[in-house]
């Protein structure tokens, strides 16, 4: 199944989550006002915002390109970037 970024953006929240759980690849997590979990999905990135106190999924935020990855830079395992692997793995240190 291939789905475009634009089509995903127009889908209802519950359908976005269903697709993320079924086809998304977990990449990283960061903490701030919300807990934010990053996934790769069909050639774009998608963040799921979660309110830990209320135990509630709040929203998704999707983006193309790497500019949105800045909040995750501290957690990238540099060994994976230069080790010749076929994929980039993200590690969050906490």
The pLDDT of residue 13: 96
**What pLDDT band is residue 1 in, cutting at 50, 70 and 90?**
low
Higher-confidence residue of 81 and 42: namely 42
* Interacting residues of 94 by C-beta distance below 8 A, sequence separation 6+: 31
35 falls within a domain: yes
Q: Which of 70, 69, 77, 71 is nearest to 93 (CA)?
A: 77
- Quote the domain boundaries for residue 43: 5-67
Q: Are 38 and 47 in contact (CB under 8 A)?
A: yes
The pLDDT of residue 67: 85
75 falls within a domain: no
DSSP lists the bridge partners of residue 62 as 46
Q: How many domains does the chain have?
A: 1
87 falls within a domain: no
**What pLDDT band is residue 75 in, cutting at 50, 70 and 90?**
low
Measure the CA–CA gap between 87 and 83, rounded to whole angstroms: 10
82 falls within a domain: no
Check residue 89 and report its DSSP letter: -
Q: What is the pTM of this model?
A: 0.74
């Amino acid at each position: 199944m291939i789905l475009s970024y634009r089509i995903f953006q127009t889908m209802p929240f519950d359908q976005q989550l269903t697709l993320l759980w079924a086809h998304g690849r977990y990449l990283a997590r960061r903490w701030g006002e919300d807990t934010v979990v990053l996934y790769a999905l069909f050639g774009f990135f998608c963040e799921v915002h979660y309110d830990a106190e209320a135990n509630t999924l709040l929203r998704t935020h999707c983006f193309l390109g790497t500019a949105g990855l800045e909040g995750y830079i501290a957690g990238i395992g540099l060994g994976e970037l230069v080790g010749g692997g076929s994929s980039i793995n993200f590690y969050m240190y906490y």
